[in-house]
A and B are shown apart, each in its own frame.
Chain A
């Protein structure tokens, strides 16, 4: 699949992408697309039409971009309740691809694409890779899972359209990943950040380096700034945070540029709002809240004001890279990942930050929640590494104390730290499972 920018001689020219449109031109484009997508959803998606009518609204209520705030939200359970095809706005014969999420509880959610949707998806992935400094001639090892998960195919077609060489290795088989990385002169890798940490560990064991690797495009799970430092220091690559979700399109909703200071949203296709998760009120740029996205150009499955559950803030200030599309702060917290222990809201990323503050601790950890005699207990299992292991009980106990202190400092509660032997915490080849909740609530 080719895109207009990539067809130019010499490959991709990022300056010709909508990333750099003057704001007023961009907003004009957004409004036109918003009006069409709202009309399309109203005409073709019964659930959306009903919700609009309940509010006494018709598509012509959208006269300017801020009018979006009048429209009803869409939430994840809407996708489950209308399983499998209830939110489709195109007839099946126009739908050329289906993906589905890993439904951890019950039915998965299904998402659909027309040919035009796939072209948009590919174009935003081209812009994603370009923002990471990749171009024709780069060799991309795509270790996102191929299949129902959107990560694999999304990155795949984007990489090809960029003009890069794509290795569709998919997830897993770490030995082969490391071999291919060396032998095929790979310059960029796509995978989850936790899998990258695993690759680093195994490469160290095998005493091999990362060859020509210079860029990592990591996403599909929240990861901390300290984890980025760890990956960059261990490998010498630049680690970029990519954002996306199947409900909106897959990977390619937002990406960091070379500044690595927030993720640019491809807002010519995905319009962002930040809301107060409790009241639903739209918050101004800069304020922290839940990210709500509207797909401006989606045909098969338009999402109007989809609540992502991701907590972030919009940065509207101009970026030194010249992109005019706005940025969101890195997402360290998903309201879905949050758990409450003894009345305190805790995000796994906070625990990760705390652990990394204690020198020498690799981010292999797991949080285990249990209920003992009616009381919630939180235990953090941390693998002992050669760097932190010394041969007296006292020094290990002092390490446990330091880790518990660091968590206490960041999270605000005292937890039990359990030192475990290396490689005893299960490694994930996709999204890391950081929290094991055994409370049976």
Chain B
């Protein structure tokens, strides 16, 4: 159930975001979804791609620092209150969220929204969430959802 996410260190100055995107483009790698966390000085670009190992190699060869993190992809009912109910399951299981972002270009609009969560102990979190009836996506399901 673990989804591999790539995190990249970027300096916060113009042109820095373009470099990794260009590297991935040249390597023929499609970005399924991404999020950018930033401070005044630096940023962390988080990416989900299908072939993460190839992407990582290409990025590292370009001199970019890459970190691989396990995240969970969660299906959230696409209706008012849908996310709140899923988050309630997180809370009941005692799971803290380090960060989260939405999957771009999900095809199940109207039924589910797919969100990506980074939790402290992803293995344990996956178990607890499944027990609580939260729908977690496998890599294959996620890629299908994103149309990749």
Interface set of A (CB-CB < 8 Å, partner B): 384-386, 389-393, 396-397, 418-424
Contacting A at CB under 8 A, from B60-74, are 60, 63-67, 69
Check B67 against A389 for contact (C-beta < 8 Å).
Answer: yes
Query: With a CB–CB cut-off of 8 A, which chain B residues contact A424?
Result: 11
Contacting A at CB under 8 A, from B1-22, are 5, 7, 9-11, 16
Check B11 against A422 for contact (C-beta < 8 Å).
Answer: no
Docked CA distance A418–B40 (Å): 10
Docked CA distance A421–B10 (Å): 7
Segment of B41-49, B100-108, B127-135 engaged in the interface with chain A: B41-49
Docked CA distance A420–B16 (Å): 11
B121 CB, nearest partner CB in chain A, Å? 14
Query: With a CB–CB cut-off of 8 A, which chain A residues contact B42?
Result: 384, 396, 419
Interface set of B (CB-CB < 8 Å, partner A): 5, 7, 9-11, 16, 37-39, 41-42, 44, 46, 60, 63-67, 69, 98-99, 118
Partner of A390, one of B63, B67, B99: B67
Query: With a CB–CB cut-off of 8 A, which chain B residues contact A423?
Result: 63
Check B44 against A392 for contact (C-beta < 8 Å).
Answer: yes
Check A385 against B41 for contact (C-beta < 8 Å).
Answer: no
Report how many A-B pairs have Cβ atoms within 8 Å: 53
Docked CA distance A392–B7 (Å): 9
Check B65 against A391 for contact (C-beta < 8 Å).
Answer: no
| Majority SS at the chain B contact face | strand
Partner of A421, one of B11, B37, B98: B11
B4 CB, nearest partner CB in chain A, Å? 12
Query: With a CB–CB cut-off of 8 A, which chain A residues contact B10?
Result: 421
Q: List 18 A-B contacts (CB under 8 A).
A: A386-B65, A386-B66, A386-B67, A389-B67, A390-B7, A390-B67, A391-B44, A391-B69, A392-B37, A393-B39, A396-B9, A419-B11, A420-B11, A421-B9, A421-B63, A422-B63, A422-B64, A424-B11
Check A393 against B67 for contact (C-beta < 8 Å).
Answer: no
Q: Report the nearest A residue to B63, measured CB to CB.
A: A423
A391-B46, A391-B69, A424-B11 known; A419-B41 Cβ under 8 A: yes
Check B11 against A392 for contact (C-beta < 8 Å).
Answer: no
Docked CA distance A356–B44 (Å): 24
A299 CB, nearest partner CB in chain B, Å? 51
Docked CA distance A393–B7 (Å): 11
Query: With a CB–CB cut-off of 8 A, which chain B residues contact A397?
Result: 39
Check A389 against B98 for contact (C-beta < 8 Å).
Answer: no
Query: With a CB–CB cut-off of 8 A, which chain A residues contact B37?
Result: 392-393
Check A421 against B44 for contact (C-beta < 8 Å).
Answer: no
Docked CA distance A4–B46 (Å): 66
Besides A384-B42, A421-B9, 18 other A-B contacts (C-beta < 8 A):
A384-B9, A386-B66, A389-B65, A391-B46, A391-B118, A392-B37, A392-B44, A392-B99, A392-B118, A393-B37, A393-B38, A393-B44, A396-B39, A419-B41, A420-B11, A421-B10, A422-B63, A424-B11
Output the residue of A385, A389, A397 with the most chain B CB within 10 A: A389
The 8 closest A-B pairs by CB, nearest first: A391-B7, A389-B65, A391-B67, A391-B69, A384-B9, A423-B63, A421-B11, A393-B37
Partner of B98, one of A384, A385, A392, A422: A392
Check B65 against A422 for contact (C-beta < 8 Å).
Answer: yes
Q: Report the nearest B residue to A400, measured CB to CB.
A: B41
Output the residue of B7, B42, B118 with the most chain A CB within 10 A: B42
A217 CB, nearest partner CB in chain B, Å? 30
B43 CB, nearest partner CB in chain A, Å? 9
Docked CA distance A422–B16 (Å): 13
Partner of B44, one of A385, A386, A396, A418: A396
Query: With a CB–CB cut-off of 8 A, which chain B residues contact A418?
Result: 41
Query: With a CB–CB cut-off of 8 A, which chain B residues contact A392?
Result: 37, 44, 98-99, 118
Q: Report the nearest A residue to B19, measured CB to CB.
A: A421
